[in-house]
Copies of this chain bind each other. A is one copy, B any other.
Amino acid sequence: MPSEIPAAGAALGAVFRHIDAEKDDFLRRVMDYVRHPSISAQNVGITEVARLLVGMLREIGLEAETLPTDGHPIVLGRWQKKPGAPTVLLYGHYDVQPPDPLEAWLSPPFEPTIRDGRIYARGIGDNKGQHFAQLLAIESHLKVHGELPCNVIFLLEGEEEVGSPHIADFVAAHRDRLKADFVVTADGPIHESGTPTMTYGVRGIASFELRVKHASRDVHSGNFGGVVPNPIWTLVQLLATMKDASGEITIDGLHDAIVPPTELELAAAARLPLDLDATKAKLGLTRLDLPPGRPYYDRLMFHPTLTINGLHGGYGGPGMKTVLPCEAFAKCDIRLVEAMTVEDVLGKVEAHVRRYAPEVEFVPFGGMLPSRVPMASPYGALIRSAIELAQGRSPLEYPSMGGSLPDYVFTKILGVPAFVVPYANADEANHAPNENMKIDCFHNGIRTGAALLDRVGAIRG
């Protein structure tokens, strides 16, 4: 725990000058990196890129290796030559999304191209450009000073884009070699205004499917309508008991474990920029789901949601078909907030289904725990300071994201605070064609990474 953070000195200034001077070369190097495909879903290029990363980490002066999991290997780099100094764990992922649809790309996904101040390539934003910026920040410190201000563990996963199925087991198994004071993930986008952001938490997720089969085959809606049960009606009537008209989940006990937001968190959420009209315009909406007294960020950060991801049953073609279908299914996810657990939530949904519609098959799909670091965490102040030093402006501070990342493996398995400090622009188009990263964002990322190491080194509490 830092007691206080001294002002940045000449050491960081020299690193910043190096980073600014190498700007063009760093740009060339990140373009070389993203030229290598590493598509986890298709097992394309994973081994090659893991090996490439180990080589690069060693070249800049880290110990590095690949470690096996039951899926794709994890790349682990470390520089731990300052006994007694704090250790930051930097998390990223070297796998990328498939590039389809290829025809929508203006330049080929694995031939990085610069247009209008942006690098276009699959993975440049999500996540190669971001962890490569962290790598260059480490390199810059080592080049300029021959050492780092603090100890660093660099953890690069190869399965984030397929749901991180092995990261929790990996972290639990390697707990000892992953000892760190806190964790920073550079992933996701900054605010669309270009203001840097930092995030203290993520929502978790619990997914499940509801399946109903009544008759052994579809029947005629005239010959049997009114006497043969309809699986779509069964699902409609079950789902209607799960959420009320105001959008509140009405499953018994589901809210029991929720830790209400603190004053600090509520205040932070209230300070975030919010333009509901712009959000509606961007999504073509005439309204948002915002009952009175439950503002936008409150719903997105501090409350669970029950989303029907899909519901299908019966005829879906043109015109009408007088069928009474025999089966239907709904796929749902519940976003979890502190301190809900996947197991508890799925158990309560199952109990609700047993009670209201025992004919419905409940199929749990598992999920991911939520994570939330107190906003009073001194590491939060440290990150804020690093961003201010690197970019000359204060970040927006998000108590939580609406989405889910496996941050719980750090906060709940390692037991240390974990933060997300994104470097990419808001319109990075990750998971989409023409994924891109602004050159300025990439450059700010390297500077921010460098300032972060400096700040961690400065705390020697």
Which residues in A have some Cβ–Cβ distance to B below 8 Å?
203, 205, 207, 209, 214-217, 219-230, 232-233, 235-237, 239-240, 243, 245, 247, 283-290, 296, 299-300, 303, 305, 307-316, 319-325, 328-331, 333, 335, 359, 365, 401-404
- Cβ of A228 and Cβ of B285 under 8 Å apart? yes
Chain B, residue nearest A315 (CB) = B310
- Cβ of A309 and Cβ of B207 under 8 Å apart? no
| Whole-angstrom CA separation of A329 from B289 in the bound complex | 20
- Cβ of A223 and Cβ of B402 under 8 Å apart? yes
| Whole-angstrom CA separation of A216 from B284 in the bound complex | 5
Q: Closest Cβ of chain B: how far from A382's Cβ, in Å? A: 27
| Whole-angstrom CA separation of A348 from B287 in the bound complex | 26
Residues of B within 8 A of A285 (CB): 214-216, 228-229
Chain B, residue nearest A288 (CB) = B227
Provide a sorted-by-A list of 27 A–B residue pairs whose CB atoms are within 8 angstroms: A215-B284, A216-B284, A217-B283, A217-B284, A221-B307, A221-B333, A222-B402, A223-B403, A225-B305, A225-B402, A226-B289, A227-B289, A228-B288, A230-B308, A232-B311, A235-B236, A236-B240, A237-B245, A307-B324, A309-B324, A310-B313, A310-B315, A310-B323, A311-B313, A311-B314, A311-B328, A316-B331
| Whole-angstrom CA separation of A288 from B215 in the bound complex | 10
Known contacts A236-B240, A289-B226, A402-B223: A309-B315 contact under CB 8 Å: yes
| Whole-angstrom CA separation of A175 from B401 in the bound complex | 71
Chain B, residue nearest A287 (CB) = B229
Q: Closest Cβ of chain B: how far from A105's Cβ, in Å? A: 18
Known contacts A309-B314, A309-B315: A226-B331 contact under CB 8 Å: no
Copies of this subunit = 2
- Cβ of A335 and Cβ of B226 under 8 Å apart? yes
| Whole-angstrom CA separation of A286 from B323 in the bound complex | 20
Q: Closest Cβ of chain B: how far from A295's Cβ, in Å? A: 10
Chain B, residue nearest A204 (CB) = B222
| Whole-angstrom CA separation of A359 from B216 in the bound complex | 36
Q: Closest Cβ of chain B: how far from A277's Cβ, in Å? A: 14
| Whole-angstrom CA separation of A307 from B315 in the bound complex | 12
- Cβ of B314 and Cβ of A205 under 8 Å apart? no
Residues of B within 8 A of A323 (CB): 309-310
- Cβ of B325 and Cβ of A309 under 8 Å apart? yes
| Whole-angstrom CA separation of A321 from B314 in the bound complex | 21
Residues of B within 8 A of A283 (CB): 215-217, 219, 224, 228
Known contacts A236-B308, A312-B311: A222-B324 contact under CB 8 Å: no
- Cβ of A365 and Cβ of B320 under 8 Å apart? yes
| Whole-angstrom CA separation of A296 from B225 in the bound complex | 11
- Cβ of B233 and Cβ of A236 under 8 Å apart? no
- Cβ of B331 and Cβ of A321 under 8 Å apart? yes
- Cβ of A403 and Cβ of B222 under 8 Å apart? yes
Chain B CB within 10 A, most for which of A243, A333, A404: A333
- Cβ of A299 and Cβ of B227 under 8 Å apart? yes
| Whole-angstrom CA separation of A235 from B328 in the bound complex | 15
Q: Closest Cβ of chain B: how far from A213's Cβ, in Å? A: 9
- Cβ of B313 and Cβ of A232 under 8 Å apart? no
| Whole-angstrom CA separation of A328 from B311 in the bound complex | 9
Chain B CB within 10 A, most for which of A203, A209, A288, A307: A307
| Whole-angstrom CA separation of A316 from B245 in the bound complex | 25
For the A-B complex with A209-B320, A236-B236, A309-B321 known, give 11 more contacts whose Cβ atoms are closer than 8 Å. Answer: A205-B322, A221-B335, A222-B335, A223-B401, A225-B335, A230-B308, A286-B359, A309-B325, A310-B314, A312-B316, A321-B331
Residues of B within 8 A of A237 (CB): 240, 243, 245
- Cβ of B305 and Cβ of A310 under 8 Å apart? no
Q: A309 is contacted by which of B223, B290, B322, B329 (Cβ under 8 Å)?
A: B322
Q: Which 8 A-B pairs have the closest CB atoms?
A: A222-B403, A216-B284, A310-B314, A240-B240, A310-B315, A226-B305, A225-B305, A226-B299
Residues of B within 8 A of A322 (CB): 205, 207, 307, 309, 333, 403-404
